[in-house]
Structure 1
């Protein structure tokens, strides 16, 4: 049976505050990074006067790009005298998405390079991440920073796979239904996020964490979530993007969806390339994947 999307509702999950240091630090942010790491391990926080802390505060106000050194903005490390095998990627692989008009004008090659550059790089810093689930495939990272962490009572939607509807506990329910961009009845019962929230009496409420690994259904689902305004009410979005972006029309469309997600306020704090989807392309000098597990926080989340 093909893998389908289903939903798990979890309410009242408490994430313990264990000291877990998994911070992604840019070398260029602070030349004294080793001393900083020692301080973070000892005190469990980022030094208030460090340049890293300043970058964190700037990214929380949507100004992270301005905090990065020259050469890390939009297209990373562009050097007109660069003659290395990575020159084209550095020139055409945008790590900050341009406007939709600019995306529309991209060639097949530039769209491909931008898609794989953008999804492979973070644009936000989470001070503390906690791994939920397996260490390998199947587990996901949760940002435990105060403004994003789930607290009681919380709502978690997980769209993945199940074979039957059942209630696992008082706060955890499995539904044999799938998420899509429209409501439909067929081999599987499919619904939009808007419909799911109505069914579960969550209309108008904030979803603390929404996870989706739904084998290409994420693109249509995200289109509906952005157009309906439901995505605004999600604090953390954990999603696996599927597709290699070799087809220009499909790639341009997917980049526009990613642009919509970004413009709402979602920033990537962790990215993982699924090894099971790896492939090589003449358009990119290093191995790529058609399955990016992207972890976002919503800097503009509407609180209920």
Structure 2
């Protein structure tokens, strides 16, 4: 009995020791697997690898944060730049210099009509003011080209001013003179030949020509005429060639910015053409304007009673004066009937040739 108790006690002790040993081994293995720091002394290989991985991960995170900060800075700068631009647009700072003047004035819709000549609004009062205006030169010209035609009283009596106080003579000397001549059929071209011999580049426009463009002697001939409106595009496509255009369109098509002398005999279309030149500001491109006026009727697309028509004529010529044009020569064709709107008013001729010079012409 005593020996059996000794045996069971020994077995119990051995079992307790084995259990404790297992527990110790288990604890040791768990602690080593989770990366418990090694004891003081030389680091193990596992601890070195873990430390290196930690540093690499920290550096990567720091680099990522640096990139994010730079992206954020760029976005902030871009946003600030856009905000500044918007503020500049809303409140522009004063410029150091005045803006350049545009070559062409802003187009207008109608001319400014002058006040009536008298309270009565009568044809006689309007005609008296108008005829006095077109027969009174406003500036003198010491030298005229085409004088011989004016003295002989030939058709048109076209003259240009070569006075040195104006620009045409200087333009001729520098070989930069350009002339546009508009007419219908074979017209008197004494002035054009004279200016061509002087060295001007002369373009004659006649819609009755058979060829679109033709060079004759020292002049260019074009199958084209001036109008107060451009043709309908469908009409042009049908005919393949437009024979009438506005002066602004012709200048653009030919690549010309200015014309030193513009001569026009448009057979009663001159009033609407002159109105177009005024409204579109094309007069700034003209140095001298030579125009034949036809007074026997109102003219194409000019409406109203007789006093209103004459008031409209007078207002157009006053627009020329406001554009710095001054009348320097007048020629009355006495061979023409003395008709003024189908009446004999103040014994006026039905045709007058007027010559204006742009006193502010500086091409």
TM range (shorter): 0.5 to 0.7
Q: Partner of 1:177 in structure 2?
A: 224
Among 203, 206, 219, which residue is 2:258 paired with?
Answer: 206
Rg larger for? 2
Moved more, 188-197 or 128-137: 128-137
Deviates more, 1:134-143 or 1:155-164: 134-143
Q: Determine the structure 2 residue equivalent to 1:144.
A: 162
- Alpha-carbon spacing, 1:278–1:115, altered in 2? closer, same or farther (3 Å): farther
| Whole-angstrom CA distance in 2 between matches of 1:155 and 1:118 | 29
Counterpart residue number, 2:316: 257
Larger deviation: 192-201 or 271-280?
Answer: 271-280
Tell me the C-alpha RMSD between the 2 structures: 2.7
Matched, 1:168 2:215: yes
1:298 aligns with 2:298: no
Whole-angstrom CA distance in 1 between matches of 2:161 and 2:295? 26
Report the Cα distance in structure 2 between the residues aligned to 1:200 and 1:175, rounded to whole angstroms.
Answer: 11
Match of 1:124 in 2: 139
Shift of residue 270, structure 1, vs aligned partner = 0.8
**Which deviations, in whole Å up to 9, do the C-alpha atoms of 1:107-130 show, x marking residues without a partner?**
322111112221122111001112
Picking from 201, 226, 230, the partner of 2:282 is: 230
- SS at 1:137's partner residue? coil
TM-score (normalised: structure 1)? 0.60
- Segments of 4+ in structure 1 off by > 3 A? 102-106, 132-135, 185-188, 280-283
Unaligned 5+ runs, structure 2 = 1-111, 185-205, 299-305
Aligned length: 202
- Aligned match of 1:157: 180
TM-score by length of 2: 0.51
Cα distance in 1, alignment partners of residues 344 and 332 from structure 2 = 19
More helix by share: 2
Q: 1:118 to 1:221 in 2, by over 3 A?
A: same
Q: In 2, Cα distance between the equivalents of 1:263 and 1:226? A: 10
**Higher share in strand:** 1
Q: CA distance change for structure 1 residues 133 and 224 in 2, over 3 Å: closer, same or farther?
A: farther
In structure 1, C-alpha distance between the alignment counterparts of 2:296 and 2:182, rounded to whole Å: 22
Residue 242 of structure 1: aligned partner: 294
Structure 1 unaligned residues grouped into runs of 5+: 1-97
* Partner of residue 276, structure 1: 335
Instruction: For residue 195 of structure 1, give the secondary structure of its aligned residue in structure 2.
Output: helix
- Separation in 2, partners of 1:99, 1:227: 13
CA contact under 8 A between 1:270 and 1:296: conserved in structure 2? yes
Distance (whole Å) between structure 1 residues aligned to residue 138 and residue 288 of structure 2 = 14
| Larger RCO (CA under 8 A, 6+ residues apart) | 1
